[in-house]
């Protein structure tokens, strides 16, 4: 009995599922409890956070901070200036890292795991933010704001009306999101909008100072990543840099400090430049308010940012206790198994953790604040290493299991000769069954999570599957090696997206190598399109980033591509007008607004038209045009451009093959078959007989 279709699908899904378990499984720990503050009077009663979307490091620091003159007057006399670094995959990740102190899972929308933030730790919060952030950070007083002018007007009105009731309250957070730099308009350029925003922030700061004259308000100005990782002086690993300024109550004021610095005046005055991880800012905010950090926080409080030793010791101590909670949760989840003592373990044990807690508690009660700060700061990295060690404890085993499972599947595809039952084969089958039995005993006694257990058992299950093939179905070793090399290349392309473009370039050139001898204009155009497709893979990732100029170009290419590449049957005029009007409306929306609300509404309405059940007499060309238009409406950057260039490249490749007379191989992909039916829509019967999908 051979491998059935459903068995093959199940194995492929399991192999794909192993990738999810290894790289996309939720790593947030459960069972955490927030710490309790130990001080009655915090450094600041309230914290005001200004988040300026689109403010990058270059715009802030160039020409000795000439672009932000009013803000420069603030940090020349008080506060600290620095750069925060963050790894992001979409625009909301910056805020998740800033307010929770941990990186957001790639599939957080699927996991639906709540993340603790500083808003949950605060006594009361007031936020003015966009609609996309309201669901994640909605607390007490949350208002949706779009234009900066409305934001500043709403903040001023709220402070003037409610300041008397908030005078004696502590633990308050005011979050103000400003999107003006990210909104394209015809009235202000980027420098003009930046000048307006920084002046309005300065005016809002003065409003807070006049409303709360107790000098117990702290301020934080930061930015949000809104472009691709290539923006804001991003590094090659997708890391972005964003400026921040922190001043007010509880903040240290140091005009001279060893280390990095930047020039701030024409006379050559320099100020210290603090370089932090974005995760560390939430620890600073919690320390200023005297609150415990969020439960999932992974950011260590940097030294020297708080003005008094007792406040810095208190914030560092709470930060260390929160790290202890993380470490104990990860260690406790691992130690629930019965075979824990037989497995490798981290050098930091429960005894060391309890000794640290006892020593730190003694130092706190002895009021040895400087010693406590140094002691906690030196021990916290070890706690983070312990947490990461046990959170990803089975990752190496999962990688090996996934690799052996893939080899087992390849061996099944190669097949075995019917009736081959040698002594070596019998010994191998017995060994596989023994490993399977021991693996089942291990995952049960160790209480391994069921997702991890399934992947650990997958290779032995595949290798123990007995299947017999006839000799004519055997795959040669040369074909097996080629298949494995191709699989390794595809696996490498999963981590290095540029590698995918190089693989496609090599495959297309090899498959169409006969066309190079023609030296025709079509061959040159096809080769240029192939080079353009390869070059697109070297651009920074665009998924989740709003890039209006790329999107405009993609919409234009989507509109004109069917007419440029059409050689035989034209699309009906009414469908051309409909798609053209939809793309034009989307283009106007991109020009005058960077918010995707209306664009999503247009896409949903057009999707109802495309997928409405009806008899289609227009052919595959019109359907492909509709689907490309819909895909362009759902995109945020150059994604539609890739689809259009790929369609044009496949069409030209088909035309070259027809001119040469080589035809199309029966193993052509579905994408090529769709393009074939698109080019031969005027001869549907002939195309159906010749090219069956």
DSSP structure string for 320-368: HHHHHHHHHHHHHHHHTSTTGGGS---S--HHHHHHHHHHHHHHHHTT-
Where does 424-528 show beta strands of DSSP type E? none
* Listed range (57-71, 228-242, 270-284, 381-395) with the worst mean pLDDT: 228-242
Residue 687 has pLDDT above 50, yes or no: no
pLDDT exceeds 60 at position 341: yes
Spatial separation of the C-alpha atoms in residues 132 and 69, rounded to whole Å:
31
- Mean pLDDT (whole number) for 608-625: 71
If one compares 415 and 680, the residue with the highest pLDDT of the two is 415
Read off the pLDDT of each residue in 55-70 and give the average, rounded to a whole number: 89
Q: What does DSSP say about strands 124-129 and 141-144: parallel, antiparallel, or unpaired?
A: parallel
Mean pLDDT of 528-544: 75
Q: Does residue 593 carry a pLDDT above 90?
A: no
Q: Residue 268: which region, alpha, beta or left (left: phi > 0; alpha: psi -120 to 50)?
A: left
Q: Is the pLDDT assigned to residue 116 strictly greater than 50?
A: yes
DSSP designation for 31:
S
455's tokens? 């992947």
Residue 149, phi-psi category: left (phi > 0), alpha (psi -120 to 50), beta (remainder): alpha
The proportion of the chain whose per-residue pLDDT surpasses 90, expressed as a percent, equals 27
Q: Which band of pLDDT confidence, cut at 50, 70 and 90, is reported for residue 677?
A: very low
Kindly provide the residue ranges of all beta strands, DSSP E only, lying in 278-403, ordered along the sequence: none
Q: What is the mean pLDDT of residues 72-99?
A: 80
Residue 664 has pLDDT above 50, yes or no: no
Tell me the CATH architecture of domain 45-303: 3-Layer(aba) Sandwich (3.40)
Q: What is the pLDDT of residue 689?
A: 32
Q: Would you place residue 669 in the very low, low, confident or very high pLDDT band (cuts 50, 70, 90)?
A: very low
pLDDT of residue 363: 95
Contacts of 301 (CB under 8 A, 6+ apart): 280, 283, 284, 287, 312, 315, 316, 319, 377
The pLDDT value recorded for residue 671 is: 43
Q: Is 36 exposed, middle or buried (0-12, 13-18, 19+ CB in 10 A)?
A: exposed
pLDDT at 18: 86
Q: What is the mean pLDDT of the chain?
A: 79
**537/500 Cα distance (integer angstroms):** 7
Q: What does the pLDDT look like over 626-648, one tens digit per residue?
A: 888 888 888 877 788 888 888 88
**What is the tens place of the pLDDT at every residue in 369-394?**
999 999 999 999 999 999 999 999 99
- φ, ψ of residue 210 in degrees (nearest 5): -75, -35
Residues 104, 96: Cα–Cα separation, whole Å: 6
**Tell me, what's the pLDDT at 636?**
75
Kind and range of the H or E run holding 396:
helix 395-414
Quick: pLDDT tens for 167-196: 888 999 999 988 878 765 546 677 888 898
Given a cut of 50, whether residue 318 has pLDDT beyond it is yes
Is the pLDDT at 359 greater than 90? The verdict is yes
Encoding tokens for residue 296?
């999932």
- In this structure, of 350-359, 505-514, 667-676, the range with the lowest mean pLDDT score is 667-676
Residue with tokens 């490309």: 628
Q: What is the mean pLDDT of residues 591-613?
A: 74
Task: List all residues 6 or more positions away from 356 whose beta carbon is below 8 Å from its beta carbon.
Answer: 320, 324, 379
Share of the chain above pLDDT 70, in %: 77
Burial of 84 (0-12, 13-18, 19+ CB in 10 A): buried
User: Does 210 have pLDDT greater than 90?
Assistant: yes
Q: Per this entry, what is the length of the chain?
A: 693
* pLDDT over 70 at 276, yes or no: yes
Does residue 693 carry a pLDDT above 60? no
Q: What are phi and psi of 427, to 5 degrees?
A: -65, -40
Report the alpha-carbon distance of residue 508 to residue 443 in Å, rounded.
46
Whose CA is closest to 393, among 346, 324, 450? 346
pTM for the whole thing? 0.70
């Amino acid at each position: 009995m051979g491998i059935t279709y459903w068995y093959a699908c199940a194995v492929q899904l399991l192999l794909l599922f192993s990738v999810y378990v290894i790289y996309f499984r939720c790593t947030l720990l459960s069972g955490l409890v927030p710490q309790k503050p130990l001080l009655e009077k915090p450094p600041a009663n309230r914290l005001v956070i200004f988040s300026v979307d689109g403010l990058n490091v270059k715009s802030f620091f160039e020409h000795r901070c000439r672009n932000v003159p009013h803000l420069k007057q603030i940090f020349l006399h008080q506060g600290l200036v620095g750069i925060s670094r963050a790894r992001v995959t979409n625009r909301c990740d910056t805020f998740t890292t800033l307010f929770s102190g941990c990186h957001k899972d790639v599939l957080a929308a699927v996991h639906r795991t709540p993340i603790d933030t500083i808003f949950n730790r605060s006594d009361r919060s007031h936020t003015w933010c966009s609609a996309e952030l309201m669901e994640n950070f909605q607390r007490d007083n949350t208002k949706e704001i779009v234009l900066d002018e409305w934001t500043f007007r709403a903040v001023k009105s709220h402070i003037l009306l409610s300041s008397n009731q908030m005078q004696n309250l502590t633990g308050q957070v005011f979050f103000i999101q400003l999107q003006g730099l990210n909104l394209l308009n015809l009235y202000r350029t980027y420098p003009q909008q930046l000048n307006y925003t920084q002046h309005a922030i300065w005016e809002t700061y003065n409003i807070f100072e006049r409303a709360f004259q107790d000098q117990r308000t702290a301020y934080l100005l930061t930015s949000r990543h809104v472009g691709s990782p290539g923006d804001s002086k991003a590094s090659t690993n997708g890391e972005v840099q964003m400026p921040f300024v922190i001043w007010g109550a509880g903040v240290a004021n140091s005009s001279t400090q060893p280390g990095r610095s930047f020039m701030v005046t024409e006379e050559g005055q320099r100020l210290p430049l603090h370089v932090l991880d974005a995760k560390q800012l939430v620890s600073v905010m919690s320390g200023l308010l005297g609150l415990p950090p969020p439960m999932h926080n992974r950011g260590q409080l940097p030294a020297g940012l708080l003005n008094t030793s007792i406040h810095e010791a208190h914030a560092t101590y709470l930060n260390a206790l929160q790290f202890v909670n993380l470490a104990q949760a990860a260690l406790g989840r691992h130690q629930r198994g019965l075979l824990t003592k037989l497995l490798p373990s981290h050098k930091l044990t429960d005894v060391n953790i309890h000794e640290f807690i006892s020593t730190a508690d003694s130092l706190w009660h002895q009021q040895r604040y400087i010693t406590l700060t140094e002691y906690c700061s030196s021990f916290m990295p070890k706690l983070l290493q312990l947490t990461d060690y046990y959170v990803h404890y089975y990752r190496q085993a999962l990688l090996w299991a996934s690799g052996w499972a893939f080899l087992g599947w390849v061996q099944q595809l190669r097949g075995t000769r019917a009736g081959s039952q040698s002594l070596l084969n019998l010994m191998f089958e017995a060994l596989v069954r023994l490993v399977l039995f021991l693996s089942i005993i291990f995952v049960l006694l160790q209480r391994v999570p069921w997702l991890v257990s399934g992947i650990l058992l997958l290779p032995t299950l595949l290798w123990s599957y007995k299947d017999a093939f006839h000799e004519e179905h055997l795959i040669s070793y040369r074909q097996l090696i080629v298949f494995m090399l191709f699989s390794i290349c595809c696996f490498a392309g999963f981590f290095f997206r540029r590698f995918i473009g190089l693989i496609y370039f090599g495959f297309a050139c090899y498959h169409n190598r006969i066309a190079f001898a023609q030296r025709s204009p079509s061959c040159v155009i096809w080769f240029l399109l192939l080079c353009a497709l390869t070059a697109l893979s070297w651009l920074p990732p665009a998924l989740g980033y709003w890039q209006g100029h790329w999107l405009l170009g993609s919409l234009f290419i989507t509109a004109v591509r069917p007419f440029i590449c059409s050689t035989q049957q034209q699309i009906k005029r009414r469908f051309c007008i409909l798609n053209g009007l939809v793309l034009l409306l989307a283009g106007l929306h991109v020009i005058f607004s960077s918010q995707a609300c209306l664009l999503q509404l247009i896409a949903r309405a057009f999707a109802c038209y495309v997928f409405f059940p009806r008899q289609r007499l227009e052919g595959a060309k019109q359907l492909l045009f509709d689907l490309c238009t819909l895909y362009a409406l759902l995109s945020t950057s150059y994604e539609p451009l890739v689809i259009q260039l790929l369609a044009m490249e496949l069409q030209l490749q088909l035309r070259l093959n027809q001119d040469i007379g080589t035809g199309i191989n029966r193993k052509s992909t579905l994408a090529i078959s769709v393009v074939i039916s698109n080019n031969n829509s005027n001869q549907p019967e002939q195309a159906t007989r010749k090219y069956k999908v």
